[in-house]
Amino acid sequence: MKRIIFIFFGVLFNVGVSQNITVNQTFTAQQLIENILVNSGCVSVSNFSATGGNFSAGEMSFGYFNANGSVFPFQEGIVLSTGKLSSVIGPNTNFSDSGIGMSWNGDTDLNTALSLSNTFNATVLEFDFIPNANTISFDYIFASEQYLLNPASNQCNYTDGFAFLLKEATASTYQNLALIPNTTIPVRVNTVRGSGTICPAANEAYFDAFNSGNYPTTYDGQTKILTAQAAVIPGTLYHIKLVIADEGNGRFDSGIFLKAGSFVSEKDLGPNRLLSSGNSLCPNETLILNATQAGATNYKWFKNGNQVGTNSATYDVTSAGTYSVEININTTCVITGSIEIEYAPNITTSTTSFTACDTNSDGFADFDLNAIKTQIFNNLPNNYSVALFDSPSGTTALLANFTNTTLNQQIIYARIVSLENCYSNIPITLNVLSSGGILTTELINICNNSTTTISAPSGFSTYSWNTLPVQNSQTISISNEGNYIVTLTSANGCTNTKTFTVINSELATITSIEVNDFEENLTALITIIGNGNYTYSIDNVNFQNTPFFNLPEPGEYRIYVKEEQCGTISDTFFAISYPKFFTPNGDTFNDIWQIKNLDKKGLENSKIYIFDRFGKLIKEINKTNTSWDGTFDNQKLPSTDYWFVIEVSNGKIIKGHFSLKR
Q: What is the 3-state secondary structure (H, E, C) of 363-411?
A: CCCEEEHHHHHHHHECCCCCCCEEEEECCCCCCCCCCCEEECCCCCEEE
Closest CA to 435 of 356, 514, 343, 499: 356
Residue 41: predicted pLDDT: 81
Q: CA distances (Å), 580 to each of 89, 274, 549, in order?
A: 135, 106, 22
Contact 267, 134 (CB under 8 A): yes
Confidence grade of residue 76 (pLDDT, cut at 50, 70, 90) = very high
Average the pLDDT over 58-62 and give the result: 89
Q: What is the 3-state secondary structure (H, E, C) of 416-480?
A: EECCCCCCCCEEEEEEEEECCCCCCCEEEEEECCCCEEEECCCCCCEEEECCCCCCCCCEEEECC
510-519 pLDDT, tens digit per residue, is 999 999 988 8
Q: Is the pLDDT confidence value at 98 over 50?
A: yes
- DSSP per residue over 5-32, as a string? ------SS-EE--TTS-EEE----HHHI
Residue 381: predicted pLDDT: 83
d(CA 20, CA 214): 8
Residue 117: predicted pLDDT: 84
Please tell me whether the overall predicted TM-score, pTM, comes out greater than 0.75 for this model.
no
Looking at 17-26, 226-235, 308-317, 482-491, which range is the least confident one? 17-26
d(CA 163, CA 373): 50
Query: What is the chain's Cα-based Rg?
Result: 55
Average the pLDDT over 191-198 and give the result: 94
Delineate the domains of the chain, giving CATH numbers in brackets.
23-265 (no CATH), 267-341 (2.60.40.10), 353-434 (2.60.40), 442-505 (2.60.40.10), 509-575 (2.60.40), 581-660 (2.60.40)
- DSSP per residue over 182-208, as a string? TSSPBP-TTTSB-SSSSSPPBSGGGEE
CA dihedral 631, 633, 635, 641 (to 10 degrees): -40
Is the pLDDT higher at 652 or at 468? 468
Residue 310: predicted pLDDT: 86
d(CA 18, CA 369): 65
Q: Is the pLDDT confidence value at 48 over 90?
A: yes
Query: Going by DSSP bridges, is the β-strand pair 175-176/161-168 parallel, antiparallel, or unpaired?
Result: antiparallel
Looking at 240-244, 321-325, 647-651, which range is the least confident one? 647-651
Q: Is the pLDDT confidence value at 68 over 60?
A: yes
563-586 pLDDT, tens digit per residue, is 988 999 999 999 999 999 999 998
Average the pLDDT over 141-164 and give the result: 90
* Average pLDDT score over the chain: 91
Average the pLDDT over 528-538 and give the result: 93
Q: Does 469 sit behind a cis peptide bond, omega within 30 degrees of 0 on the bond before it?
A: yes
CA atoms within 13 A on the CB side of 633: 1
Average the pLDDT over 155-180 and give the result: 93
d(CA 362, CA 519): 51
In 237-332, which ranges are E strands? 238-247, 254-259, 264-266, 287-290, 298-303, 306-310, 314-317, 321-330
Share of the chain above pLDDT 70, in %: 95
Query: Interior CA angle at 579 toward 575 and 582, to 5°?
Result: 150
Residue 34 sits at φ, ψ, to 5 deg, of: -70, -45
1-26 pLDDT, tens digit per residue, is 333 333 333 333 344 445 899 999 99
Q: Is the pLDDT confidence value at 534 over 70?
A: yes
Average the pLDDT over 42-51 and give the result: 94
Q: Bridge partners of 436?
A: none
Residue 88 sits at φ, ψ, to 5 deg, of: -75, -25
Average the pLDDT over 334-354 and give the result: 94
Residue 641: predicted pLDDT: 94
Residue 250: predicted pLDDT: 60
Residue 11: predicted pLDDT: 34
Residue 6: predicted pLDDT: 30
- DSSP per residue over 555-615, as a string? EEEEEEEEETTTEEEEEEEEE----SEE--SSSSSS-SB----TGGGT-TT-EEEEE-TT-
Residue 371 sits at φ, ψ, to 5 deg, of: -70, -40
